[in-house]
Amino acid sequence: MKPKSRLTLAVLGLVSSVSVITAALALGNHIPGQLNSLITGLGGALGGISVTAILLELADRKRTPEQRKELARGEHDERNIAIREKAAMSSWYWTLGLLWGLFVLCLLLHQTRYIALSSIVIVLHCLFYLMNICRWTKKM
């Protein structure tokens, strides 16, 4: 996909996200609570993906062609691939335990706050992933 079309698609995703969240908030009383939460959560996820894509595209535009080649080489380096695989596997195990704990907690408390707590778990997943990348980089 061309860089210009990726940026256009990301901006459209962001506009769609804002539109969906605004509609969900405006129609809050006319939509059942769980469906409203689902729509708002999906809009937030789309917004997060879109903002990330925009920021990555803008950061890539500031790089020189030599820097882009070096990054592409680093992406396919066997050592970096092994580090990412070990970090991802370790993060997956941690996240699995957290998701089960969150699920059981929500069942015990009879709460419908699963969406907000799931967001925290996703942030923790990213944090564990980054920590494990640093840990495996030092070990290898």
In this structure, the answer to whether residues 82 and 127 fall within a common structural domain is yes
Q: Which of 114, 89, 86, 88 is nearest to 101 (CA)?
A: 114
pLDDT digits (tens, 9 = 90+) for 64-114: 889 888 888 887 888 888 888 888 888 777 777 777 777 667 767 766 667
Q: Are 60 and 13 in contact (CB under 8 A)?
A: no
pLDDT value of residue 15: 92
In this structure, the answer to whether residues 85 and 45 fall within a common structural domain is no
What is the domain extent for residue 4?
A: 1-62
In this structure, the answer to whether residues 1 and 46 fall within a common structural domain is yes
In this structure, the answer to whether residues 90 and 138 fall within a common structural domain is yes
The count of other CB atoms within 10 Å of the CB of residue 132 is: 21
Q: Is the pLDDT of residue 125 over 80?
A: no
Q: Which of 74, 73, 17, 10 is nearest to 2 (CA)?
A: 10
In this structure, the answer to whether residues 31 and 84 fall within a common structural domain is no
pLDDT value of residue 99: 75
In this structure, the answer to whether residues 101 and 122 fall within a common structural domain is yes
In this structure, the answer to whether residues 55 and 89 fall within a common structural domain is no
Grade residue 119 by pLDDT with cuts at 50, 70 and 90.
Answer: low
Alpha helices in 1-77 (DSSP H): 3-26, 33-61, 65-75
